[in-house]
Amino acid sequence: MTEKFQNLSISINELPKVEEVDFHPIDPKYLKVSLIGSAIFFIILAAGAFAILYFGDDITQLGIIITIGVYLLLLVWNLTLTILGFKKKKYAIRDRDILYSKGLIWSVRTAIPFNRIQHAEIKQGPIERNFGLSSLKVFTAGGQSSDLVIPGLPNETAQRLKDFILKKTAEDGEPTV
């Protein structure tokens, strides 16, 4: 690979490379959590649509067909994204930063160095709790757009990661004045 930016005083090729890192997949059980979440959403949606169709006044047959069609389309789309997108959710912890990548259609890889992390916490929804899973949330300063959530971690892993991050943040974040 040739040098991509010539005017930098260090050689980029010698830097640790994000693209060569081994990412860990998240817990396979999280796929079930996502699917149950989708199922609940679609059951509520179906109930709502049914209520409208049932109590609505002039519902034509065409209207019903279109509703069912759109519903099925959404369902298939959601299932495809959930199942295929699941494999794309991966994370990695390096010496000085945390990486998370996801996304089937839009793949997004986020990297946050430990010395820029403000805070980390563990979150757990009711479905996740049943499967013994947690999400790890990493906060940065100034708004939520650069915050990071890694879902589908076994409780114990999440706790260990959080402790590790907070320790690293404290070490790396110390201003060396």
Partner 1 sequence: MENQPFDFSEPRRQSTVAIGIILIKFIRMTIRAFWPILLSLFIGGRAGSRFEDIIGFVLLGFAAINLGGSILTFFRFYFHLDKDAIVIDKGVLRRTKTNIPFERIQTINFKQNILHQLFNVVSVEIDTAGAKKSEISIDALKRDEAMALRDFILAEKAQIVPEEIEDQITEEEQITEKEILYLKPLDLIKVGISQNHLRSMALIFAFVFTTLNEITEDIAGLLSDQFAEYEDYVVNNVWFVFVLSTILVLILSFLFSLVNTILKYYELRLSIHKKGLKLVRGLLNREEITINRNKVQIISWSTNPIRKLFNMFTLKISQASSTEASLKSNIKVPGSYQAQINQIIATVFPEDRYQFEITYKMHHLLKIRLFLFLGILPTVLGLATYLGLGTDALYFLLILPVSWILISLYYGKRSYQLNPEFLKSNGGLFGRSHDLTQVHKVQAVRVKQSIYQRRKRIATVLLYTAAGHLTLPFIEIDRARALENFVLYRIQTDSREWM
Contact track, partner 1, 50-89, x by CB under 8 A? ----------------------------------------
With beta carbons less than 8 A apart as the criterion, state whether 93 and 113 touch: no
Smallest distance, partner 1 to C-beta of residue 142, A = 3
Greatest Cα pair distance, the chain, in angstroms, is 75
Tell which one of 22, 60, 62, 106 touches partner 1 (CB under 8 A). Answer: 106
**Part in contact with partner 1 (CB under 8 A); list of ranges 7-15, 58-66, 123-131, 153-161:** 7-15
β-pair type (97-102, 90-93) = antiparallel
Residue 96: CA count within 13 A, CB half-sphere: 8
Binding of partner 1 by 6 (CB under 8 A): yes
β-pair type (97-102, 119-123) = unpaired
With beta carbons less than 8 A apart as the criterion, state whether 115 and 173 touch: yes
Tell which one of 33, 112, 120, 133 touches partner 1 (CB under 8 A). Answer: 112
H or E element, residue 120:
strand 119-123
* Tokens 């998240």 sit on residue: 26
If you compute the radius of gyration of the chain from its CA atoms, what whole number of angstroms results?
A: 22
Tell which one of 55, 57, 126, 176 touches partner 1 (CB under 8 A). Answer: 176
Binding of partner 1 by 5 (CB under 8 A): yes
Helix (H, G, I), strand (E, B) or coil at 91: strand
Give whichever of 28 and 103 is closer to partner 1, judged by the CB atom: 103
Binding of partner 1 by 12 (CB under 8 A): yes
Smallest distance, partner 1 to C-beta of residue 7, A = 5
Binding of partner 1 by 10 (CB under 8 A): yes
Amino acid at 41: F
Q: Which of residues 129-148 bind partner 1 (CB under 8 A)?
A: 140-146, 148
DSSP, res 104? S
| Site residues for partner 1 per CB under 8 A | 1, 4-10, 12, 15-19, 96-97, 103, 105-116, 118, 140-146, 148, 172, 175-177
